[in-house]
Amino acid sequence: MESKSLKQACISSVPNLRLLCSSTALSGVGIYRSSKPDRLTCEDLPGFQNLGIKYIIDFRSKEEYFSSDGQKLLDKDYLLYKVTPAKKAGQTFTTERIDDCKSDHSCTRKEEVLASSDGAKAKHFLINFFTPSYILRSVSRLPCYLYCVGIFHFLCDLFIRRDTTFKRFGRFFTQNVINRVGIKGQYIDITEFCQPALCTALKLIVDLHHSSILLNCAHGKDRTGIVSALVLTCLGLPKAYIIKEYALSEEGLQPVDHLVRRDLIEKYGLKNEFVTASVDTMSVLFDHLENKYGSVENYMNAIGFSHEEQMSLRRLYSLPDPASVLSELSSTDASNIPRKEKLPFLRKRGKEITSPAISSKETEL
């Protein structure tokens, strides 16, 4: 029997929607993941509202969000914020409210936003993963002549075409940078070049634990897939489960496969592999993080999401039906399903601390 946490939700205009994990203390509260909810229809709106999602954490830039197609019905109910990750360790991220005229105002600290008079209202947070720093570090690996061509396209979009979406440069970037490393290489680049955004996303999830959250990007597969994998790692889930959960996106996006191919292949010229969600892709990413940092948990600590914060996330969330998860995985890869998974990176007074079982219902907040 398929576990509840691995079931796709049935809201056709929001493909790839499913429950990632549930609150350990609050009934009906959990973390969902999906593709962009921009195309949500009036017919599907009541079903979406029934999920009780109060916060949307969207891994797109403001420009990517506004250039996306769809009615964006949720803009009527959700206050839109742009999130800027902290620049230095020890600092907190900031948010900017985005009004209906698509302009920013009132930059505030995240504590002020979460405790503001608008606290009862639903909020939609935009976190840009593909910052100028990510692009520059990626382009810097190109041969000198291609690097110069890329800079030329960027300047033309900026000053001549005045295209804030940088379509010409974007196509050059995907064909000459992303296609060269492939989808597996891009996932590694995201974890190495987008660390402030990843850390901010994880911290925001902890801050907003009292209500249901939706994680999304454009298709809910790549940026959302990486963040979801990190969340499930914090919950102590075995790698076999996390990889299988990631691969569900291939099935979840099947009804809109033609739109995914339009956005990725026809528009930007990406290879066919970028429309897939293969288990090998997430396996390679896990291998990279484990080889370089010792463990995925150590990686999160290195980017600023501390071991203590990881344990907080574990206390806050669990799978809806952990017993069926263990049963489901034991028949395929029993070696990856420890009953009590050790966390060697957590030590207290020289003694190793072991994680609680996956079915733990700790409720200390």
- Does residue 193 fall inside a structural domain? yes
- Does residue 326 fall inside a structural domain? no
Q: Which of 2, 11, 6, 72 is nearest to 256 (CA)?
A: 11
- Does residue 4 fall inside a structural domain? no
Residue with tokens 């969340």: 231
- Does residue 260 fall inside a structural domain? yes
pLDDT at 163: 82
Which residues neighbour 247 within 8 Å (Cβ) at sequence distance 6 or greater?
277, 278, 279, 282
Contact by Cβ (8 Å): 57, 213: yes
| Single pTM value for the model | 0.85
- Does residue 324 fall inside a structural domain? no
d(CA 344, CA 67): 45
pLDDT in tens, the chain (365 residues): 444 455 566 799 999 999 999 999 999 999 999 999 999 999 999 999 999 999 999 999 999 999 999 999 999 999 999 999 998 777 899 999 998 544 343 445 555 555 554 556 899 999 999 999 999 999 999 999 999 999 999 999 989 888 877 888 999 999 999 999 999 999 999 999 999 999 999 999 999 999 999 999 999 999 999 999 999 999 999 999 999 999 999 999 999 999 999 999 999 999 999 999 999 999 999 999 999 999 999 999 999 999 999 999 999 999 876 666 656 555 554 344 333 333 333 333 233 323 333 333 333 32
d(CA 120, CA 211): 11
Residue 98 per-residue DSSP state: E
d(CA 265, CA 179): 11
The length of the chain, given as a count of residues: 365
Q: Which of 64, 10, 35 is nearest to 259 (CA)?
A: 35
pLDDT at 316: 97
pLDDT at 362: 34
Helix (H, G, I), strand (E, B) or coil at 350: coil
- Does residue 224 fall inside a structural domain? yes
- Does residue 301 fall inside a structural domain? yes
Q: How many domains does the chain have?
A: 1
- Does residue 305 fall inside a structural domain? yes
Residue 44 per-residue DSSP state: T
Q: In which domain, by residue range, is 29 found? A: 15-133+189-317
Looking up residue 277, the CATH number of its domain turns out to be: 3.90.190.10
